[in-house]
Amino acid sequence: MLNFDEANRKSREAMDTMLKSYSDTAKGFQAIAAEATEYSKKSFQDTVTHFENLSGARSLEAAFELQTNYLKSAYESFVAEATKLGEMYSDLARSAYKSYEAPVATGTVKATKAAAVVAPAAA
């Protein structure tokens, strides 16, 4: 027999879980966007500073050294930022899945048990 109170409670729990997951995911994307914005600002400022320094170079050797140092630091900064953003995306995916982990596991167990009951009956 269908228990409406139990169905209502389960439905409410599922909705709460979904809304919490969406909220956490939105916060994660906001954090990623803020990080990317900060990196872009810093990168732009570093580029402006580099060109100011480059325009004041007295010799070709000095300009070449400035350019080499800038490219090395820009590359290292980019790799560090890409790694950080990759970790943020990975953490976001893990946290988004975490709220659904228990219900999926429960459903999988129930489906496995139901399949085990149906399989011998079909044979």
Question: For residue 53, what are the contacts with CB-CB under 8 A and spacing of at least 6?
Answer: 66
Long-range contacts formed by 111-119: CB under 8 A, 24+ apart: none
C-alpha–C-alpha distance, residues 75 and 79, integer Å:
6
Q: How far apart are CA 52 and CA 120, in angstroms?
A: 79
Give φ, ψ of 114 to 5 degrees.
-65, -40
Read off the pLDDT of residues 47-92 as tens digits, 9 standing for 90 and up. 999 999 999 999 999 999 999 999 999 999 999 999 999 999 999 9
Predicted confidence (pLDDT) per residue in 27-51, tens digit: 999 999 999 999 999 999 999 999 9
Cβ density class 10-21: b for 16+ within 10 Å, e for less: eeeeeeeeeeeb
pLDDT at 49: 96
Reported pTM? 0.72
**C-alpha span between 73 and 61 (Å, rounded):** 18
Q: Predicted confidence band at 103 (pLDDT cuts at 50, 70, 90)?
A: confident
Model confidence band, residue 119 (pLDDT cutoffs 50, 70, 90): low
Q: Which residue has the higher pLDDT, 95 or 104?
A: 95
